[in-house]
Amino acid sequence: MAAKYVILPCNGLDKEAGCLARELALKMAAAMDGEIICPVLYQTAPSRYASLLQEGNLIVIDGCATRCASRIAANNNLKISRKITMAEEAKKRDYNPGPDWRLGAGAAAFVEDVWRSWQPVFMEQGAGRASEENTGLFAGPVEYAIHRHDKFIFRVPLEGFYFNENDCWVQVEGNRGRVGISDYLQQNLSDITFVTPPDPGTEVEQFGEMGTIESAKAVYELVSPVTGRVVAINEAVLEAPELINENPYEKGWIAELELTNFEADREFLLDGRRYLEVLKEKVADFNAGK
Amino acid sequence: MSEEGRLSVGLISCSGEACPGGTISRLATQKVLRSIRPGYNFVTICLPLFMAGGEEERNFARDYPTITIDGCEKCCALKATEALSGPVSGKVVVTDLIAKEDIGEGTLSIRELTGEQKAMVDHVAAAILEQVTKIKQEG
Beta-sheet pairing, A161-163 with A270-271? antiparallel
In DSSP notation, B66-134 reads EEEEESSTT-HHHHHHHHHT---SEEEEHHHHS-HHHH-SS---GGG--HHHHHHHHHHHHHHHHHHHH
Give the residue among A171, A156, A160 at the shortest CA–CA distance from A228. Answer: A171
Tens digit of each residue's pLDDT, chain A (290 residues): 445 889 999 877 767 778 889 889 988 988 888 889 988 888 778 888 888 888 888 999 988 877 888 888 888 888 888 888 888 888 888 888 766 656 667 788 899 889 888 887 776 534 444 443 344 567 766 678 889 887 788 999 988 899 999 999 999 888 889 999 999 999 999 889 889 999 888 899 999 999 999 987 788 999 999 999 998 899 889 888 999 998 999 999 999 999 999 999 999 999 999 999 999 999 888 877 75
Q: Which CATH architecture has domain B8-135?
A: 3-Layer(aba) Sandwich (3.40)
Q: Which stretch of DSSP H or E encloses residue A36? A: strand A35-36
Question: Quick one: A87 and A169 in the same domain?
Answer: no
Residue-range definition of the domain harbouring residue A160: 144-288
Domain ranges of chain B: 8-135
- How many A/B residue pairs have CB atoms within 8 Å? 95
Question: Quick one: A154 and A282 in the same domain?
Answer: yes
How many structural domains comprise chain A?
A: 2
**CATH code where residue A281 lies:** 2.40.50.100
Distance from C-alpha of A41 to C-alpha of A39, rounded to nearest angstrom = 6
Distance from C-alpha of A24 to C-alpha of A88, rounded to nearest angstrom = 14
Residue in A with minimal Cα distance to B108: A26
pTM above 0.90, yes or no: no
Q: What is the ipTM of this complex?
A: 0.76
Beta-sheet pairing, A209-215 with A219-223? antiparallel
Interface with chain A: mutation pick from B31, B46, B69, highest number of A CBs within 10 Å: B46
Residues in A closer than 8 angstroms to B14, CB to CB, are 40
Look up residue A49 and give its DSSP letter: G
